[in-house]
Structure 1
Amino acid sequence: MSLHLWWLYVTAVFLISATPGPNMLHVMTQSIAHGPRKAMMTMAGLMSAVLLCLIASALGLGALLEASPQLFDLLRYAGVAYLIWLGIRAWRAPVSTGGGIAAQPQSAGALYGTGLLTGLSNPKLIIFAAALFPQFIDTDRPFVIQLAILVVSFVVIESFWYSVYALGGTKLKRWLEPANRQQMFNRGTGVLFIGFGGALLGARA
Structure 2
Amino acid sequence: MPLQTWWLFALTVFAISATPGPNMLHILTRSVDFGLARTFAAMAGCLSGLMILLTASVAGLSTLLVAVPGLFTALRYAGAAYLVYLGIKAWRTRAGLLDVAETALPPARLGAAALYRGGLAISLSNPKAILFAAALLPQFIDPAQPTGPQFAVLLATFAVIESFWYMTYALGGRSMGRALERPSVKNLFNKLTGGLFVAFGIALLTARG
Relative to the length of structure 2, the TM-score reads 0.90
- Partner residue of 2:139? 135
- Partner residue of 1:126? 130
Contact 1:63 1:127 in 2 (8 A): no
- Partner residue of 2:63? 63
Which amino acid is the alignment partner of residue 175 of structure 1?
A: A
Which amino acid is the alignment partner of residue 57 of structure 1?
A: S
Q: How much does 1:201 deviate?
A: 1.3
Asked whether 1:150 is paired with 2:138, we answer: no
Uncovered stretches (5+) of structure 2, i.e. residues with no partner: 97-105
- Partner residue of 2:12? 12
Which amino acid is the alignment partner of residue 185 of structure 2?
A: R
Bigger drift between 73-82 and 5-14 goes to: 73-82
2: CA distance between counterparts of 1:10 and 1:187? 34
**Equivalent position to 1:198, from 176, 185, 202:** 202
Contact 1:66 1:72 in 2 (8 A): no
> In the superposition, relative to structure 1, how do residues 66 and 199 fare at CA in structure 2: closer, same or farther (>3 Å)?
farther
RMSD after superposition: 1.6
- Partner residue of 2:35? 35
Asked whether 1:110 is paired with 2:114, we answer: yes
Secondary structure at the residue paired with 2:64?
helix
1:19-73 alpha-carbon deviations (Å, 9 max, x no partner): 0000000001011111111111111111110011001111111221233232222
Which amino acid is the alignment partner of residue 157 of structure 1?
A: I
2: CA distance between counterparts of 1:95 and 1:110? 16
1: CA distance between counterparts of 2:61 and 2:142? 21
2: CA distance between counterparts of 1:192 and 1:104? 24
- Partner residue of 1:80? 80
Which amino acid is the alignment partner of residue 41 of structure 2?
A: M
